Structure 1
Amino acid sequence: MRYLIGIDIGTTNAKATLFDQHFRAVASAGQEYPTHFPQSGWAEQDPLDWWNATAAALRDIMADHSLTSRQILGICVSSQAPAVLPIAEDGQPLRRALIWMDRRSGPQCAQLHEKLGQERIHAITGNRIDPYFMLPKLMWVMQNEPEIHVNAWKYLQVNGYINYRLTGQVACDHVHASLTGLYDVAERDWSEELAKTLQIDLAKMPEICQSTDYIGTVSRSASLATGIPEGVPVLAGTVDAAASALECGVVKKGEAAEMTGTSSCFMLGCDTWPDSLNLVSIHHAVPGQDLLIGPISSTGACLKWYRDQIGCSEYDDLDAYRKNPYRYLDELAQSARDSKLLFLPYMAGERAPLWDSDVRGAFIGLTHSTSRGQMVRAILEGSAFALKHVVDEAEKSGQQVRSLYAVGGGSSSPVWLQMKASILGRPVQTVQHTSSGAFGNALLVAYASGLIDDLSTAVHENVQIATTYEPDPAQARSFAALYKVFRNFYEHLKDDFAQWANL
């Protein structure tokens, strides 16, 4: 029997799954790590936390399996993106990583508008100017921490650092590169024009390769830390959205999915590079394919905020709540009577399609009779409304979204999934494999190793529908009216949020 290992480094935890050659999950483990918020709008993570969590997860999945390097076909790592992590030549991180949700680089975005303009940036990179992307974050480090920049040997993405710890080799896959804002889509390489204009030394950027390229093998030191045999091949890997797209069958034009964890991401398969200023265009991990994605900043994070800050009443079943708080919140939302309570899920600003760093979360319509269940329900509905906004924007590209697959932690909530189906007016389907991208990574290993000949065919052969949620007509009518109000509230309040941010 041969085996494959998929690893995903998310915003809240690292997960590793061991699959056999028939793509059956044999063992899985994960470990959480914190996000640091030194100032408002800043978000950082310690790369050593990523590595320690990854190593612990790998030790756990290997604990009951004595395998040789010949038995393991390879390892593929996907991750949250984009990030900025400068490392020294000895591999030591020079600071904590600025992760995707970090919004400090607003001034650098203003510089990009002045020096190059939105139109030129979009023509080169296929994307807009925003603090979400790596480029303005890199400029922030260059301008505010010049000693770190001078001493930086390479700037890595999240999975790039894990790959480096596993193999001692540095690389960046095309999917991650296309999400940096420093990538020339036409040349499929780092942009010489941007580098020259902004005085960026491209020698500090890793070589770009395909997701399915082998970049090295597990080193002796990594083997001792993880329990993975020395010599196991490691792939370049991909972005978590692309791995999740593979996991649920999104490869070709028109196939769509949404991934909900800490944040959410809508993914739409494209045969050619998609052109959308309000969404994000990236390469797919499948060679020759692209993705149009809509990253939404806070969805599951809003529910986690409620769990941590409000939780349940002393009159509720505390034991059940502690055992599985999210299932309990799901039941709380299910039992809540309908209300007109609205929730704007913009607790960390918003990415697609608003691209507004100043907007914030809000409950609108609280009364003396508002219950906890109604608040939870409003959070779920508000997040689903944000998803609909993205889907509506995606259809402006000329593609029709007929149905969606749902993956990630949010796909375990029947209440949320039914809401999404009714709000979107389309079937929402869950799949058998819900490994947060690990299964998608395993498919990439299978393709790279020759276990499968055609990646697209293998994806569709191995994706099995678990449950289909059809739109409820009565719910859909009610949600349609509420959605209009949801959209209007943002339009009415956005100038006030901007003024508030500058107080």
Structure 2
Amino acid sequence: MAKLLIGVDAGGTMVKVAAFDAAGREIGCEHQPNPMSFPEPGWTERDPDRLWAIAAQAIRTMLDRTGINPADVAAVTASGYGAGAFLLGGDGRPARPALGSTDSRALPLIAEWQRTGVAEELSLAVSQGVWPGQTSVLLAWFQQHEPEVLARTAHVMNCKDYLTWKLSGEISTDLTDAGCAGLMDLERGTYASDALRAAGLGAWLPKLSPIGPAGEVVGHLTAEAARLTGLRRGTPVARGVYDVVGCSLASGMTRSDQLGIVAGTFSINSTLHPAPCLDPIPTLQCPYPGAPGHYLSTIATPTSASNLEWLCRTMLAAEADRAQAAGRSIYEVCSELVAAGEGRESDAMFLPYLFGGPEGAPGALFGLTAGSNLGDVLRAVFEGIVFAHRADIDTLLGGRDSAHPRTALLAGGPSKSDVWSQMFCDAVGLPLTVAEGSEFGAKGAAICGAVAAGMADDIPAAVAAMTRPCRAYHPKAERTPRLERQYGRYLRMSRELSAAWMPASEATPSCFAGAQA
């Protein structure tokens, strides 16, 4: 009997493929860069055909390295970044390059919608903010600026749905991707057709994908997909969820007293609610399959661990090469330097806004002295990223409909670092758990695959069977005074630098959806 599950997670920077057994133990994994192009300032695009080729090769490489027998694979399931846009023509070819969720070309359109009231009406209809990389906003931009794309497009997809189509030949989406895209009436579980028509998007409605359950077999591996991936033709393909939800499932998030934190390209901070959260209005919101009848409310901003990745790729490139030659990761080296300097007095501070800050605030490193060293700088970067999450969390927990979490769950690159995990714990002031595993997006996809393959009765049962805590942290009270002092300074500097950098009269709408006020 087939007993292994494969998850494919196409994120903003990497495609990750991993295999898991029925208990959620990772058997093997493979990573491949997921290239992005920047044809104009603020535009983030990728070639859908290239993405599929990378994913298929990653599956084949993982099978070859692990020696997994394709006959032992019970299901393969894709996950991927939410929002953005993958547009498929009637000839089965991409209608244009795909867009990432980090794309900001639609900022002027959002400003227009804010002036005319369309933004507020649509936001209330889809129970989340209106932001530049949202699928609904990008469809409006295409309609205004590339009307020929509307004519060429037969199907509107998101990232994981495109990969699912390439695997199975079937076109569909699930409630989480449709919700994240800003296209859905959450309580009805259907597309918000009336609101989309009122926003001028009626022509796109027939092109939206059918919605189905995440833990369902959507189709079976085609002969062409089998040839490219090395998997068996006819292997069940599950529908799956988008990556934020996948990471939440793999973290073990099933209750409304949990705070989910995912640190990656975006600062992603989520809570569960028995009804859609409208105060505060979140960046993203969708029905949550890990707790039926609940909704995952998320504040997300591009202020997280990708800032450290940039630092390591640029200013620390030589150190990264030396670490690799020694068989080590540059991120391990960074964590060791931060841990070694924890007892030092340092007021160095970093604003993690390299990919966009609130109200136009730029990335910045300040507070250095002649006595500062690399460990101080790295500590400032670690803390700045933690503070960005804390600011988003304060927004998420500061409204009438907010949840009241008693524990936190951390996933993403920083969760692999003891010193960074403890820093998150101290900053949010909650006991914090890191779940077992490393590829949480892929594991979340595999959890959906377990249900589709009949290995679990439903997604909550699959979460219970396939996730378990690995490490636990508790807030250290002695660190609170310094962290609170630095956090207050972080908020002040963000506001003041934003005002100095971009006068209010020149400001454009922010993608921060009220976070970090």
- Shorter-chain TM-score bucket reads over 0.9
Q: Are the counterparts in 1 of residues 332 and 417 from structure 2 also a CA contact under 8 Å?
A: yes
Equivalent residue letter for 1:230 = R
Q: Are the counterparts in 1 of residues 252 and 435 from structure 2 also a CA contact under 8 Å?
A: no
Q: How far is 1:484 from its partner?
A: 0.8
**Match runs of 1:304-343 below 5 Å:** 304-311=309-316, 323-336=328-341, 337-343=344-350
1:300 matched to 2:305? The reply is yes
Q: How far is 1:149 from its partner?
A: 2.1
Aligned counterparts of 1:31 and 1:239: Cα–Cα separation in 2: 19
Matched residue SS, 2:144: helix
Aligned counterparts of 2:320 and 2:257: Cα–Cα separation in 1: 48
Aligned counterparts of 1:122 and 1:494: Cα–Cα separation in 2: 26
TM (normalized to structure 1)?
A: 0.92
Equivalent residue letter for 2:434 = T
Are the structure 2 counterparts of residues 130 and 263 from structure 1 closer, same or farther at C-alpha, using a change threshold of 3 Å?
closer
Q: How far is 1:132 from its partner?
A: 3.1
Q: Deviations over 1:390-420 (max 9, x none)?
A: 2222222342222211112221111211111
Aligned counterparts of 1:485 and 1:321: Cα–Cα separation in 2: 38
**Match runs of 1:454-493 below 5 Å:** 454-493=458-497
Q: How far is 1:33 from its partner?
A: 2.1
Q: Are the counterparts in 2 of residues 279 and 393 from structure 1 also a CA contact under 8 Å?
A: no
Is 74-83 or 431-440 further displaced after alignment?
431-440
Q: Deviations over 1:194-220 (max 9, x none)?
A: 332314321121112221232211110
Q: Deviations over 1:126-166 (max 9, x none)?
A: 01222131122121222222222211111210011101111
Aligned counterparts of 2:460 and 2:507: Cα–Cα separation in 1: 49
- Unaligned 5+ residue runs, structure 2? 509-517
Q: 1:349 aligns with which of 356, 366, 384?
A: 356
Q: How far is 1:50 from its partner?
A: 1.9
Q: 1:207 aligns with which of 206, 210, 224?
A: 210
Partner of 1:47: 48
Q: Are the counterparts in 2 of residues 86 and 95 from structure 1 also a CA contact under 8 Å?
A: yes
Partner of 1:221: 224
Aligned counterparts of 2:229 and 2:70: Cα–Cα separation in 1: 13
Aligned counterparts of 1:190 and 1:456: Cα–Cα separation in 2: 25
Aligned counterparts of 2:266 and 2:111: Cα–Cα separation in 1: 26
Q: Deviations over 1:97-129 (max 9, x none)?
A: 111111110121123224444432232000122
Partner of 1:452: 456
Equivalent residue letter for 1:463 = T
Q: How far is 1:427 from its partner?
A: 1.9
Partner of 1:394: 396
Q: Are the counterparts in 2 of residues 264 and 298 from structure 1 also a CA contact under 8 Å?
A: yes
Are the structure 2 counterparts of residues 167 and 455 from structure 1 closer, same or farther at C-alpha, using a change threshold of 3 Å?
closer
Q: How far is 1:465 from its partner?
A: 1.6
Q: Deviations over 1:365-387 (max 9, x none)?
A: 23333322211111110110111
Q: Are the counterparts in 1 of residues 42 and 105 from structure 2 also a CA contact under 8 Å?
A: yes
Are the structure 2 counterparts of residues 448 and 372 from structure 1 closer, same or farther at C-alpha, using a change threshold of 3 Å?
same
What is the count of residue pairs matched by the alignment? 496
Q: CA RMSD in A?
A: 2.4
Q: Are the counterparts in 2 of residues 164 and 170 from structure 1 also a CA contact under 8 Å?
A: yes
- Ranked by relative contact order (alpha carbons within 8 Å, sequence separation 6 or more), the top structure is 2
Q: Are the counterparts in 2 of residues 264 and 299 from structure 1 also a CA contact under 8 Å?
A: yes
**Match runs of 1:73-472 below 5 Å:** 73-197=74-198, 198-201=200-203, 202-275=205-278, 276-286=280-290, 287-311=292-316, 323-336=328-341, 337-350=344-357, 354=358, 356=359, 358-396=360-398, 397-472=401-476
Is 144-153 or 16-25 further displaced after alignment?
16-25
Are the structure 2 counterparts of residues 150 and 418 from structure 1 closer, same or farther at C-alpha, using a change threshold of 3 Å?
same
Q: How far is 1:34 from its partner?
A: 1.9
Equivalent residue letter for 1:257 = G
Equivalent residue letter for 1:12 = T
Identity, in percent, stands at 25
Q: How far is 1:480 from its partner?
A: 0.6
Q: Are the counterparts in 2 of residues 11 and 262 from structure 1 also a CA contact under 8 Å?
A: yes
Aligned counterparts of 1:152 and 1:41: Cα–Cα separation in 2: 23
Equivalent residue letter for 1:474 = E
Q: How far is 1:325 from its partner?
A: 1.0
Aligned counterparts of 2:35 and 2:440: Cα–Cα separation in 1: 18
Is 198-207 or 237-246 further displaced after alignment?
198-207
Q: Are the counterparts in 2 of residues 88 and 153 from structure 1 also a CA contact under 8 Å?
A: yes
Aligned counterparts of 2:283 and 2:150: Cα–Cα separation in 1: 30
Aligned counterparts of 1:314 and 1:99: Cα–Cα separation in 2: 30
Are the structure 2 counterparts of residues 315 and 26 from structure 1 closer, same or farther at C-alpha, using a change threshold of 3 Å?
closer
Equivalent residue letter for 2:160 = N
Is 79-88 or 16-25 further displaced after alignment?
16-25
Q: Are the counterparts in 2 of residues 124 and 186 from structure 1 also a CA contact under 8 Å?
A: no
Aligned counterparts of 1:318 and 1:167: Cα–Cα separation in 2: 41
Equivalent residue letter for 2:250 = E
Are the structure 2 counterparts of residues 450 and 57 from structure 1 closer, same or farther at C-alpha, using a change threshold of 3 Å?
same
Q: Are the counterparts in 2 of residues 241 and 267 from structure 1 also a CA contact under 8 Å?
A: no
Aligned counterparts of 1:423 and 1:338: Cα–Cα separation in 2: 18
Aligned counterparts of 2:5 and 2:107: Cα–Cα separation in 1: 41
Are the structure 2 counterparts of residues 497 and 141 from structure 1 closer, same or farther at C-alpha, using a change threshold of 3 Å?
farther
Are the structure 2 counterparts of residues 134 and 340 from structure 1 closer, same or farther at C-alpha, using a change threshold of 3 Å?
same
Partner of 2:514: none
Aligned counterparts of 2:468 and 2:320: Cα–Cα separation in 1: 41
Q: How far is 1:319 from its partner?
A: 6.1
Is 128-137 or 179-188 further displaced after alignment?
179-188
Aligned counterparts of 2:178 and 2:107: Cα–Cα separation in 1: 21
Aligned counterparts of 1:192 and 1:315: Cα–Cα separation in 2: 50
Aligned counterparts of 1:474 and 1:199: Cα–Cα separation in 2: 54
Equivalent residue letter for 2:454 = G
Q: Are the counterparts in 2 of residues 320 and 328 from structure 1 also a CA contact under 8 Å?
A: no
Q: Deviations over 1:216-272 (max 9, x none)?
A: 111101110111111112122111111111111112212222112232311222232
Q: How far is 1:32 from its partner?
A: 1.1
Equivalent residue letter for 1:345 = P
Aligned counterparts of 1:226 and 1:314: Cα–Cα separation in 2: 35
Matched residue SS, 1:78: strand
Equivalent residue letter for 1:236 = R
Partner of 2:512: none
Equivalent residue letter for 1:214 = V
Matched residue SS, 1:23: coil
Q: How far is 1:273 from its partner?
A: 1.9
